Structure 1
Amino acid sequence: MDARGQPVIAIIDDDADVRETLSALMDSSGFTPIAFQDSAGFKAAGNPEDFDLALIDLRLKGESGLSLAIHIREISELPIVMLTGVGDEIDKIIGLETGADDYLMKPFNPRELVARIRAVLRRYGHGVASATRTGKDQQIIFGSKRVDLQRRELLDENGEEIPLTNAEYVLLDYFVRNPDRIIPRTELMKEIGSDMQRYVDRTIDVLILRLRRKIENVPSKPVHLQTRRAQGYIFVLQADTP
């Protein structure tokens, strides 16, 4: 947040016209934009935590946007929204694998981009009023793990946090709040706020695979996050673990 209390958005795009357009859009939408033409410029700016969100072009010249997103995710939980003009499914899947929180193709609707950014910031609690904490944290337990809904954390049996990307947490949060019912992929896609109608199945599958690696004792034989073929997924809280 800047001195005026506005979320600070880092814009990393090698196209000067796009940087100018995005900066104007962010400024008129109540954000403080800081634009960079490449990854090196962003890295030289200092701590990623000085920003509230990074808006990254996938096809940056020099170090790619994917490489930058991976670098950010290794050192920070800075929210990331990826932009690309390439309508390739593999790029979308790789983008999600880096830990990006949302993905939008150029040309995009300005209102939609602003809505996506606000949604991601809201999930992280950046630039929005935080919910009042209760005296007792609300937790949901499954197997040897538990989700702390107040702190937005997944904890293991020793109380240690298991790191999740924002998209992973949003899915897990939705599952534990809606246990023991089959949830179709389209409903999950709507929940994470993405608009990739042509790639819904594959996108959700990638996130599910990543989430299983973190919550299941044997990811290839899930007991909590189960698939119901041709229907969707079901989260079983009280499962018989092997």
Structure 2
Amino acid sequence: MAIIDDDPDLRRTVADLLGENGFTPLPLADGASFLALGPRPAVDLALIDLRLRGENGLTLAIRIRETMGIPIVMLTGRGDEMDKIIGLETGADDYMMKPFNPRELIARLRAVLRRAGHPAMAPTDRSTSTIRVFGRLRLDQTRRELLDYDGAEIPLTNAEYRLLDYFLRHPGRIIQRTELLTELGNDLSQYMDRTIDVLILRLRRKIEAVPSKPIHLQTRRGQGYLFVVETSA
């Protein structure tokens, strides 16, 4: 697992944390060091500081996403709201705000790897999963997977999953944006309102047949959002 951060103390701390939890860390000081690994680096995930000295962590993330296809988790500071929103739009799998809780970081990394299909992270028993069905899709809340009608997984980022899970636990109720931001937790609660717009747009692209005419995730103008589980044919 690559740790790309220009702060040597943070690199050392995160590398030690990953090593203690069964990962093989690869600490790197900048994007050039990561790109020097070649087009198919032997890493399962890239943990990238948003504010790399002398370069933009988002630019590196976009390049990794477009050419390598490995999961990406961004480390961000509290003053980077706009960059976080841009990062959501470019497809980062998750964010952690510094300073972060070590246990939460490990849990988030494992969740991202599992959603990316890493064999070591896959749960072994689906028979005990809690499933919520809507339309032709179903959300496995035990495995944290969104599945289509033929059982294929529809990849979700951590924020997308948490948003969909919350809607499915509160169907038929208008939910305000502030409530959604609170539910998403401290790592996202400092974002500007546009964060919810971005997440709603991305989620609709994954769960709606026609995202511009949603039947499940509906907007109630001036009030919030309403999730409809049962729909007419």
The alignment's TM-score, normalised by the length of structure 2, stands at 0.73
- In the alignment, structure 1 segments of 5+ residues that lack a partner are 1-8
What is the match of residue 204 of structure 2? 212
Structure 1 residue corresponding to 2:107, chosen from 110, 118, 123 = 118
Which secondary structure state, in structure 2, belongs to the residue aligned with residue 60 of structure 1?
Answer: coil
How many angstroms does 1:48 deviate by?
A: 5.7
How many angstroms does 1:99 deviate by?
A: 2.1
The count of aligned residue pairs is 225
Per-residue CA deviations over 1:24-81 (Å, capped at 9, x if unaligned) read: 3444566442101222322444646732x42201123566311222233344352x32
What is the match of residue 89 of structure 1? 81
The amino acid that maps onto 2:127 is: T
* Identity over aligned pairs, percent: 57
Which secondary structure state, in structure 2, belongs to the residue aligned with residue 212 of structure 1?
Answer: helix
* Contact 1:27/1:33, CA 8 A, preserved across alignment: yes
- In the alignment, structure 2 segments of 5+ residues that lack a partner are none
How many angstroms does 1:124 deviate by?
A: 4.5
How many angstroms does 1:118 deviate by?
A: 1.4
Structure 2 residue corresponding to 1:58, chosen from 50, 74, 85 = 50
Distance 1:139 1:85 in 2: 35
What is the match of residue 224 of structure 1? 216
Distance 1:166 1:49 in 2: 23
The amino acid that maps onto 1:34 is: L
What is the match of residue 171 of structure 1? 163
Q: What does 1:68-217 correspond to in 2, within 5 Å?
A: 68-74=60-66, 75-78=68-71, 80-85=72-77, 87-106=79-98, 108-109=99-100, 112-122=101-111, 124-125=113-114, 130=123, 132-134=125-127, 138=131, 140-142=133-135, 145-147=136-138, 149=140, 152-155=145-148, 162-189=154-181, 191-199=183-191, 201-217=193-209
Distance 1:71 1:153 in 2: 26
Distance 1:133 1:122 in 2: 16
The amino acid that maps onto 1:115 is: E
How many angstroms does 1:133 deviate by?
A: 1.8
* Contact 1:83/1:104, CA 8 A, preserved across alignment: yes
How many angstroms does 1:94 deviate by?
A: 0.8
- Label 1:171 to 1:28 Cα distance change in 2 as closer, same or farther (>3 A): same
How many angstroms does 1:153 deviate by?
A: 3.4
- Label 1:64 to 1:172 Cα distance change in 2 as closer, same or farther (>3 A): same
Per-residue CA deviations over 1:163-200 (Å, capped at 9, x if unaligned) read: 44343234334433542233344554455445333326
* Contact 2:46/2:70, CA 8 A, preserved across alignment: no
What is the match of residue 12 of structure 1? 4
Distance 2:41 2:178 in 1: 33
- Label 1:216 to 1:49 Cα distance change in 2 as closer, same or farther (>3 A): farther
The amino acid that maps onto 1:227 is: T
Distance 2:46 2:176 in 1: 30
